């Protein structure tokens, strides 16, 4: 099984010499883009080769379009939640769940793909120039066995669970069926690469990123799960893949343990899925992946004796991060339920976690302001004391709010009585003055409530700032110990990594940290991963966009095809017009 997986991840099905492809592409790697802007849309050249990479991840499906002379592919993402909502009426009639409806899901993905490539078609074209499609590859958050069209994928990381699913055949079959209905050319490529997302990412980093020039290395994804792949003597090695499950953490001793291939097989069921973690031995993923980090932080805030008074304020902060897509009451219910999840079924921590809520929580956990932290620390109080000082004015604010509500109700009752009287009636002026007095008092009480609330929230904000910063440091301490376990496992197998590259949502966010935060992380690595030499140089955060990284094989194949195209066209009349160039977002 291992040999088959290594063959799959080698990139051999693409038919590329890695160094030659990287040299031909001559790529630079800017920060992550957010897809094409409508006013500056890239258009495919009617004659030039192009390629597509479909990235199937935990939160979305991304279509990446690779064109010549361009490092970052143009991409568009479709969230699983969007597909679920769009298919809901149809599936409800059929009496099936989303997870049971792969055919309908693939059909919907095919329709999204057609709309994506049509948007980037040459100006005035009736359909995309699919005859120029020279590479079509997949990057998937899961275990891959076999090669090409027959590669089988097993994963629970995506919205539709897969057990030995032939994804290339299924998805391309759905795409070609949709294209035929439209009367467009079909996708007709000789070779398809189906790669684990970590393997695809490692290849991108090795060919043109932070692992270029190294023989031994480790690539790690910290996102909705924890993925990894090893580089040993310049080749991809499955022996250091799946570290999110291959490394476990004992919850009593807090020790991390690396499991070799035989031990890893014992952690999997007969459908190639990882068994549920026990309460005593968690997978490293349960400690370090985004959803688990967020839920642990939620549980800490809600259940900690000092912090629990801040929980409502915390939920309000998360609601602001999430935005108007969810009402506060809906979000508060989700946050409460997540915080109440038990430790006996940690798999639900990710399955039950809406990605927007997790992102909102982690934006508080992983994003820090130095001035706010300094201000909170300067008060020289414990988190519990700060939270306690916030609770008193908050309670007072609630009392004022209750009083203001009573005053407004009283004024409303008097106003109703006034409607029964004429202005000249004896009690009219008296009741009118009474109503006005109640309304004015309600305004004054409301102002007092706001002042108390602001004072309480300021204290709560300080407490949460310190709590988040404390948990943030704990997270990177655990990450350091996990990395040291992986480093030691590679070292005893004569493959000590010269460079460890961390990517994924958490890794890419860490790459944007100011020097002081990066410096603090490296201090934690030095303290808790002393076996990693020169951690500040050995461990780096990826600066490649995830799309450029995982679509690198496709981009290199497109560049190679374009070089061949230019050789054939250079002797033809009007060669410059045929060659053209891609500059920025627009084809000239």
Q: Find, among 29, 15, 13, 7, the residue nearest to 211 by Cα.
A: 29
Whole-prediction pTM value? 0.79
Distance of CA 247 to the CA centre of its chain: 21
β strands within 317-367, DSSP E = none
β strands within 542-581, DSSP E = none
Q: How far apart are CA 92 and CA 362, in angstroms?
A: 33
Model pLDDT, residue 427: 84
Model pLDDT, residue 374: 63
Tokens of 90: 């149809």
Q: How many CB atoms lie within 10 A of CB 569?
A: 16
Q: Find, among 225, 236, 231, the residue nearest to 273 by Cα.
A: 225
* Contact by Cβ (8 Å): 332, 390: no
DSSP state of 268: B
Whether 150 is in a domain gets the answer yes
Dihedral (CA of 61, 78, 173, 44) sign: negative
CATH of the domain at 178: 3.30.420.40
DSSP state of 269: -
Whether 29 is in a domain gets the answer yes
Q: How far apart are CA 415 and CA 438, in angstroms?
A: 11
Whether 385 is in a domain gets the answer no
Q: Which residues contact 459 (CB under 8 A, 6 or more apart)?
A: 386, 387, 389, 390, 393
Model pLDDT, residue 376: 61
The half-sphere exposure of 185 on its side-chain side, counting CA atoms within 13 A, is 14
Helix (H, G, I), strand (E, B) or coil at 342: coil
pLDDT tens, residue order, the chain (588 aa): 333 332 233 333 333 333 433 333 333 222 333 444 444 689 999 999 999 999 998 889 999 999 999 989 999 999 998 999 999 999 999 999 999 999 999 999 999 999 999 999 999 899 999 999 999 999 998 889 988 899 999 887 788 889 899 999 999 999 999 999 999 999 998 889 999 999 999 999 999 999 999 999 999 999 888 999 999 999 999 899 999 999 999 988 999 999 998 888 888 887 767 887 777 889 999 999 999 999 999 999 998 887 888 888 888 889 989 988 888 889 889 999 888 888 777 777 776 778 889 999 999 999 877 666 666 655 555 666 666 666 666 677 677 778 878 888 888 888 888 888 888 787 888 888 888 998 898 888 788 777 776 776 777 788 888 888 899 999 999 999 999 999 999 999 999 999 999 999 999 999 999 888 899 999 999 999 999 999 989 999 999 999 999 999 999 999 999 999 998 876 555 444 444 444 333 322
Whether 439 is in a domain gets the answer no
Model pLDDT, residue 283: 92
Provide the residue range defining the domain that includes 62: 2-209+545-587
Token pair 């902060």 in the structure block, residue: 317
Tokens of 432: 């009118």
Whether 360 is in a domain gets the answer no
Dihedral (CA of 514, 520, 525, 530) sign: positive
Length of the chain as a residue count: 588
Q: Find, among 459, 455, 453, the residue nearest to 376 by Cα.
A: 459
Whether 82 is in a domain gets the answer yes
Q: How far apart are CA 12 and CA 27, in angstroms?
A: 21
* Angle in degrees, CA 539, 543, 544, rounded to 5: 120
Model pLDDT, residue 390: 62
Where does residue 121 rank: exposed (0-12), middle (13-18), buried (19+ CB within 10 A)?
Answer: middle
Whether 44 is in a domain gets the answer yes
Q: Find, among 570, 558, 550, 586, the residue nearest to 208 by Cα.
A: 550
Q: How far apart are CA 533 and CA 539, in angstroms?
A: 10
Whether 581 is in a domain gets the answer yes
Rg (CA), the chain: 29
Model pLDDT, residue 411: 87
Question: In the chain, how many domains are there?
Answer: 1
- Max Cα distance, the chain (Å): 105
Q: How far apart are CA 141 and CA 136, in angstroms?
A: 17
Q: Find, among 288, 211, 252, 247, the residue nearest to 499 by Cα.
A: 211
Q: How far apart are CA 219 and CA 228, in angstroms?
A: 5
């Amino acid at each position: 099984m291992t040999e088959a997986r290594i063959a799959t991840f080698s990139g051999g099905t693409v038919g590329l010499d890695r160094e030659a492809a990287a040299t031909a592409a001559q790529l630079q790697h800017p920060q992550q883009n957010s897809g094409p802007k409508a006013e500056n849309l890239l258009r495919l050249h009617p004659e030039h080769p192009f390629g597509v990479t479909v990235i199937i991840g935990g939160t979305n499906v991304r279509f990446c379009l690779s064109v010549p002379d361009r490092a970052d592919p143009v991409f568009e993402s479709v969230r699983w939640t969007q597909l679920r909502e769009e298919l809901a009426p149809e599936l409800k009639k059929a009496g099936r769940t989303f997870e049971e409806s792969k055919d309908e899901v693939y059909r919907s993905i095919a329709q999204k793909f057609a709309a994506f490539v049509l948007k980037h078609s040459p100006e005035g074209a009736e359909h995309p120039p699919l005859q120029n499609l020279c590479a079509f590859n997949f990057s998937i958050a899961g275990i891959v066995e076999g090669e090409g069209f027959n590669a089988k994928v097993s994963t629970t990381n995506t919205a539709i669970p897969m057990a030995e699913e032939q994804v290339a055949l299924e998805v391309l079959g759905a795409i070609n069926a949709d294209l035929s209905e439209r009367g467009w050319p079909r996708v007709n490529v000789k070779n398809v690469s189906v790669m684990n997302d970590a393997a695809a990412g490692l290849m991108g980093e090795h060919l043109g990123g932070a692992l270029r020039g190294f023989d031994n290395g480790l690539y790690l994804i910290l996102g909705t799960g924890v993925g990894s792949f090893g580089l040993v003597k310049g080749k991809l090695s499955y022996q250091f893949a799946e570290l999110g499950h291959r490394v476990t953490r004992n919850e009593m001793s807090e020790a991390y343990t690396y499991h070799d291939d035989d031990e890893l097989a014992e952690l999997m069921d007969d459908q190639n899925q990882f068994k549920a973690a026990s309460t005593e031995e968690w997978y490293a993923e349960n400690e370090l992946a985004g959803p688990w980090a967020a839920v642990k932080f939620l549980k800490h805030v809600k259940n900690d004796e000092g912090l629990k008074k801040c929980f409502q304020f915390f939920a309000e902060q998360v609601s602001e991060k999430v935005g108007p897509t969810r009402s506060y009451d809906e979000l508060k219910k989700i946050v409460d339920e997540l915080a109440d999840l038990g430790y006996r079924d940690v798999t639900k921590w990710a399955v039950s976690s809406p990605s927007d809520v997790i992102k909102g929580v982690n934006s508080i956990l992983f994003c820090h302001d130095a001035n706010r932290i300094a201000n909170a620390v300067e008060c020289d109080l414990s988190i519990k004391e700060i939270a306690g000082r916030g609770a008193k004015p908050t309670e007072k604010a609630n009392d004022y709010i209750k009083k203001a509500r009573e005053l407004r109700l009283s004024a409303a009752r008097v106003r109703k009585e006034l409607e029964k009287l004429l202005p000249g009636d004896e009690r009219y002026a008296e009741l009118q003055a009474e109503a006005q007095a109640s309304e004015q008092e309600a305004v004054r009480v409301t102002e007092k409530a706001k002042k108390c609330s602001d004072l309480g929230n300021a204290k709560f904000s300080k407490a949460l700032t310190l709590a988040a910063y404390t948990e943030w440091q704990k997270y990177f301490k655990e990450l350091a110990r996990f990395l040291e376990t992986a480093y030691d496992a590679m070292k005893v197998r004569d493959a000590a990594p010269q460079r460890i590259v961390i990517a994924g949502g958490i890794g890419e966010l860490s790459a944007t940290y100011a020097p002081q935060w990066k410096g603090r992380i490296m201090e934690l690595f030095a303290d808790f991963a002393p076996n990693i030499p020169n951690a500040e140089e050995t461990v780096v955060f990826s600066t490649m966009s995830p799309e450029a990284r995982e679509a690198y094989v496709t981009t290199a194949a497109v560049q190679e095809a374009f070089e061949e195209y230019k050789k054939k066209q250079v002797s033809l009349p009007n060669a410059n017009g045929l060659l053209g160039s891609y500059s920025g977002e627009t084809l000239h």
